[in-house]
Structure 1
Amino acid sequence: MFDADAVRQDFPILDQMVFDHPLVYLDNGASAQMPQVVIEAVSDYHLNHHSNVHRGAHTLSGRATDLYESARDTVQNFIHAAYREEIIFTSGTTHSLNLVSQVMADQVLQAGDEILISEMEHHANLIPWQQIAKKKGLTLKRIPLNENEELDLAEGLELINEKTKVVAIAHVSNVLGVVNPIKDLADAVHAVGGYLVVDGAQAVPHMPVDVQELDADFYAFSGHKMCGPTGIGILYGRKELLENFSPVFYGGEMINRVTFEESHWKEIPYKFEPGTPNISGAVGLAAGIDYLSKIGLEKIQAYEQALVDYVLPQLLNIEGLTVYGPKDPSRHTGVISFNIDPVHPHDVATVFDSRGVAIRAGHHCAEPLLDVLGTRSTARASFYFYNTFEEADRLIEVINKTKEFFTYG
C-alpha cells in the first residue's frame, strides 16, 4: 500500500506554514519539489567533486565526469532507450524542443512540407514549429479536440499524408490532463516517412515511459518536474538519426578538431552538447530518477489515479465550477484546470494562497488552447505522489470558501 504521509517526510519544504495554514502544494505541473536525497546529492557534488567535465586530467575532473556520464546511463535506463548515446543533456524541455526543431529546419524540412501539432500544445512545442513554418514556407496544421476535450485521433490520422514531415505532440496535456495516443501517431507518421517529436514534460514524472515502445523519434522532458533541479533537461533521439544529423549550436566540447577553415564534430551525444554543461543539474536529475525508481512509477501512477478518482467527481458536482478536460476520472491525470464563475483565476489563486494552498493561474503557456476552450485563463491544481487525500479535501474546501467570499464578501 502506498503511504503518501511517509513519502512526505522526504520533502522538507512541505513542512511549513503559509499565512498560518499548513502548506498544500498543488503546483506540481509547473515544478515538483525536491526530496532530501536530491538536495544532498547536489550539495555533495558542490562540496566534494565540483570541476569541469571531460577535459581535465586531474582527480576532481575525473570524479565530475564520472558523475555526469553516470547520470546519462541513469536516464537511459529510466526511459528504456536502446543506447546511452541517445541521451542529450539540455537545459529543459523548451531547449530540447527548440534543438530538435532547429535540426529539422536545417536538415529535413523543405518548402511545401507539413508539420502537424495538436490544439493542446504548450508554447514550447508550438512556437518553434510556427516560426520555422513561417521562415521556410511550411504548412502548420493542428489536430482538433473532440467533444470530450481530448485529442480527436480520427481527425489527426486523416491529416497525416505524404507531405507530413513532423508530428509534434504532447504526451500529456499540461492543461487538460489527457494522455495522448503516441504510438498510434507514431505508426501513422512513420508510414509516410515522417518523424514523431514528443513533449514528455508532463508524462515522465507520473507514469512509466518506454521510448522504444512508443516508437518516438525524439522525446523531451525536464528535471524540475520530476523531483530534480531546474535548468536540466533531456532530449532523447534515435541513434541512427542523431548520427546522421549535424549540430546547430556550436562551441567548445563538441568538436574533435577545429581549424580556421573547418570543424569536425565529436560523436553523439557530445556533438549536440556544446559548452560547459549543467553538471550539478545532471547529478540532481539522476538522484531524482533513483528516488522515483525506488518508489516505482507504477505505484506513483496508481496512487495519483486514486487521487483523481476521488477528487474529480466532487469538483464536477460543485455549482458554478467549470472543469476542463475529460470528465471521466480514468481518462484524466492529476492536472486539473478549472474556473469559478465569475471569479478571475488570479483572484482565485490569491484566495487559495491566503489559505496556504499553492495553485497556478493563467494561460499555462497554452494560449491557443484556451482560445479553443473559450476562456483567457484558468486556475490549475496539479497533484503529485506526495499529495494526500486530506489535501484533496482542502482543495474542495477552499474552492467553496472562495465561492462564498466572492458571493457574500
Structure 2
Amino acid sequence: MDRNLWSLSITAVIIAFASSIFWTILPPYMWDLGFGFLDIAIVYVSQSIVMILFSRLLGIFADSLGRKKFIVGELVVLLIAYIFLYLCVYSDSLNVLTISTFSALMGLAWAIGSGAFAAAITTSLSRERTGFATGLYVTADTLGWTIGSFVSGAFVDVFGMGLTLIVSIFVIVLGFLTIGFYHEKTIRKPISLRSALKDSWALSLPSKDNLLVYLFIIVAVLNIGAAIFFLVFVIKFYMIVGSKTMYGLLSGISGLLSMLVPYFVGKLSESVDKEKILFWALIVRVLFMAVMVFSWDLWIAILFWITPLWPIVMLELISLTTDYSIENRESEAHAVRNLIGMVLQTIGNIIGGLISELINVEANLELMAIILGIGVAFYALGIPLSLILYRKSKISS
C-alpha cells in the first residue's frame, strides 16, 4: 500500500477514535445530567457555527500551503479541546456553556483538518481510483469510531468521564507520530489572505459541468433531515436499549459493519456508477427511518442502528466531490461540502430543538414522532435529487 495512504488511514483511525469517545455518548450523557433537547441542539450549533465560518477558508489555505500542516493543526486543537473538557469534568463545571465551548473547539479542529484530510487521502491515488482510496478512508474513519463507540459507554458507566478523556488525550498524541510518515506532494503557489478571504465567501466553486452544485444540494437536504431526525432519535434509541453501555456496544457493532462495507463498496465504485449506488442506499435508509418514526420495537431499532447505510452514502458523497472538483482545488471542494453540511445541520438542530420546546416533547415522548417525521421528509428529498445527479453525470460524460 502507498505510504501516504496507510499513514493517513492510521491517522484517520486515531482522529475518529478521539472524536467518538465522547461525541458518541454526548447526547445520552447530557440527557442523564438533566439537559433537554434544546440544550443538546445548542451544543451542536456551537460546533456548526465555527465550521461555517472557517471551513472553506482553511480548505483554500490547505490547497495552497500544504495539507499536512492542517492535519497536524487538527490534532493540536483536538488535544486542546479534550484537555479543556477534562478540566471541566475535574472541576465539576459542566454546563451548557462549557460543553458548547468544547463543541466549538471540536468544530474548529474539524474545520482545520477535515477538508485537507479528505482531499489528501482521495488524491493519494489516481483519479480513476478515488473510489478505492475513499473506501479505505471511510473504513479507517469508521474503525476509529467503532473502537471509540465500544469503549465510550462502558468507560463512562464504569470508570467515569475523567479517565475516558485521559485515554483519548493519549491517543491523540499518537496521531502526531503517524502523520509524520505522510509525505506532502506538489502543492499550488501560496495564496494571499485577501484572495483566500474573497474566495472563501464566493458563491461559486468551479467544477466539472457544475455537477458539484447538484451534489451539494443533496448534501444540504441530507444534513438538515439527519439533524432533525437524529437530534431526537439518539435519545429515543438510548431509551429503547436502556443504558449507556448497551448504547455504546451497539454503536460499536454498527461501526464494525460500517468498517467492512465501505472497503468493498469503494472497490465496487470503480466498476459501478457511484451516483447509482448513492440512489439505492438512500432509498433503503429512508425506508428504515420512516419505520422508526413510530416504532419502539427493540429489534427493529437495533437493526436500523447497526445497518451500515450512512457510511455508503458518505463514501459516495466524498468520492464524488473529488471526482467533480477541479484539480488542485480538492481541499476547498471538500471544505465547501462540509460547510454546506454544517449550515444545514445547524438549521436542522435549531428547528428540531425549537419544535421540541414548542410541543414539550420531554413531557410527552410520543410526540417525538412529529420531529422524526419532519426529518424523514427532508431526508427523502435526496432520492429524486440523486436520480437527477445520475442523469446529469451521464450527459456530461
Shorter-chain TM-score category?
under 0.3
- Between structures 1 and 2, the one with greater helix share: 2
After TM superposition, the score normalised by the length of structure 2 is: 0.27
Larger Rg: 1
Does 1 or 2 have the higher relative contact order (CA < 8 Å, sep 6+)?
2
